[in-house]
Amino acid sequence: MPDPRPRLGFLGVGWIGRHRMQAVQRAGAAHIAAIADIDPEVAHAAAATVGCADVCPDLEELLSRDLDGVVIATPTALHARHVSAVVGHGIPAFCQKPLGRTASECRELVELARSADVRLGVDMSYRYLAAVRAALTALRAGTIGEPHVAELVFHNAYGPDREWARDAALAGGGALVDLGCHLVDLARLFFGTVAADRVHADLFASGARLGPDPSRVEDLALAQVTLTDGRVLRIACSWWLPAGTDALIEASFIGHGRALTIRNVGGSFYDFEALLVEGRRYRRICEPPDDWGGRALVEWASRLSCDRSFDAEVEQQVDVARVIDQIYGRAA
């Protein structure tokens, strides 16, 4: 009997690409068919961890294989080129976040996938946390009513170690596009829509204030976004913040007298809990452990095995990118 699992190619197998590849293999959700990376040593080392014999020198060679999908974990500046090439071959693609550097770039890629009628996914991994799923279940059960404010925080005591990530033209921005895209994506998940009406933003690089559409990447971004429906997002994210711990990550959705909070535990990047908060009291509705890191790809691969056609869910990433553009003060 033929293997029903999709045959996936992996483009870019640094830390994040290798982690996602190993996760999808552990879950038994896909067959690792071929691997390509700009560094041959990295490619061969990653292939050895999953028992893949087919290592390709580049994307062109990778696309010559019989693949059901390609997982892209390359620098942000290359996402548009790589997604376009994969989708242009009629092959579904799963891309690391952010899909594009701007809303316009995201929109073009979504429209390409729609025209080719192939599935396009983005690794918005935090929406797959068990804590997020528990909080969403509580929200839909009416535990806090309709949330009217979201307070969203992602402070990282570390920063990028790749030069391209500190180049605004290549990365599309700094801490906001890197970390804040997860925050805005969570807001969209809980609010249903995130169309901005008014934005007040403060961006800083090494303590210096940046103007609109900055040519430098920011290491600290603060924003208050009033949505067209009157609800409000308060966003704070940073690299290298002296926070006394590895990371501070929290998303609180505030209703009348109650709130739902998802937050990291003990400064961890991996352990999260969900709380139902009322006044000075709270009830924990989800707690670690939770092996969530590769869950977005596992779900995408599982869906791919049944249906490789375009999925309109990816349009949400254009909405997320549009809010980020507005915080940066970039023209639509």
CATH number at residue 74: 3.40.50.720
Q: Phi and psi of 200, rounded to 5°?
A: -120, 125
- The verdict on residue 321 lying in a domain is no
- The verdict on residue 220 lying in a domain is yes
With 0.85 as the threshold, say if the pTM is over it. Answer: yes
Tens of pLDDT, residue by residue over 205-241, are 999 999 999 999 999 999 999 999 999 999 999 999 9
User: Mapped to the 3 state alphabet, what secondary structure does the chain carry?
Assistant: CCCCCCEEEEECCCHHHHHHHHHHHHCCCCEEEEEECCCHHHHHHHHHHHCCCCEECCHHHHCCCCCCEEEECCCHHHHHHHHHHHHHCCCCEEECCCCCCCHHHHHHHHHHHHHHCCCEEECCHHHHCHHHHHHHHHHHCCCCCCCCEEEEEEEECCCCCCHHHHCHHHHCCCHHHHHHHHHHHHHHHHHCCCCEEEEEEEEEECCEEECCCCCCCCCEEEEEEEECCCCEEEEEEEECCCCCCCEEEEEEEECCCEEEEEEECCCCCCCEEEEEEECCEEEEEECCCCCCCCHHHHHHHHHHCCCCCCCHHHHHHHHHHHHHHHHHCCCC
Looking at the fold, whether 135 and 281 belong to one and the same domain comes out as yes
Q: What is the mean pLDDT of the chain?
A: 96
Give pLDDT, residue 1: 62
Looking at the fold, whether 188 and 254 belong to one and the same domain comes out as yes
The domain spanning residue 241 has which CATH number?
3.30.360.10
- The verdict on residue 209 lying in a domain is yes
- The verdict on residue 316 lying in a domain is no
Structure tokens given for 158: 């570390």
Which residues make Cβ contacts (< 8 Å) with residue 237, sequence separation at least 6? 152, 153, 154, 155, 156, 175, 176, 178, 179, 180, 183, 220, 221
Looking at the fold, whether 285 and 299 belong to one and the same domain comes out as no
Structure tokens given for 305: 């095995």
Number of domains in the chain: 2
Looking at the fold, whether 262 and 306 belong to one and the same domain comes out as no
Tens of pLDDT, residue by residue over 50-73, are 999 999 999 999 999 999 999 999
Give the strands of the sheet with 120-122, arranged side by side: 55-56, 31-36, 7-11, 69-72, 93-95, 120-122
Looking at the fold, whether 203 and 191 belong to one and the same domain comes out as yes
Looking at the fold, whether 282 and 154 belong to one and the same domain comes out as yes
- The verdict on residue 104 lying in a domain is yes
Looking at the fold, whether 169 and 242 belong to one and the same domain comes out as yes
- The verdict on residue 326 lying in a domain is no
Q: In angstroms, rounded to a whole number, what is the distance separating the alpha carbons of residues 98 and 87?
A: 17
pLDDT exceeds 90 at position 332: no
Q: In angstroms, rounded to a whole number, what is the distance separating the alpha carbons of residues 281 and 271?
A: 21
The single residue listed with the structure tokens 């050895």 is 48
Which whole-number Å values give the CA distances from 18 to 6, 48, 249, 277, in the listed order? Answer: 18, 11, 24, 38
- The verdict on residue 89 lying in a domain is yes
| Number of Cα atoms under 13 Å in the Cβ half of residue 213 | 4
Query: For the chain, what's the residue count?
Result: 332
- Average pLDDT, integer, range 94-116: 98
Looking at the fold, whether 21 and 45 belong to one and the same domain comes out as yes
pLDDT exceeds 70 at position 176: yes
pLDDT exceeds 90 at position 243: no
Tens of pLDDT, residue by residue over 259-310, are 999 999 999 999 999 999 999 999 999 999 999 999 999 999 999 989 999 9
Domain that holds residue 306: 7-123+294-311
Looking at the fold, whether 132 and 80 belong to one and the same domain comes out as no
Looking at the fold, whether 74 and 175 belong to one and the same domain comes out as no
Give pLDDT, residue 96: 97
pLDDT exceeds 90 at position 199: yes
- The verdict on residue 317 lying in a domain is no
Looking at the fold, whether 133 and 275 belong to one and the same domain comes out as yes
Count CB-CB contacts under 10 A for residue 287: 15
- Average pLDDT, integer, range 189-200: 96
Looking at the fold, whether 181 and 62 belong to one and the same domain comes out as no
Q: In angstroms, rounded to a whole number, what is the distance separating the alpha carbons of residues 311 and 119?
A: 6
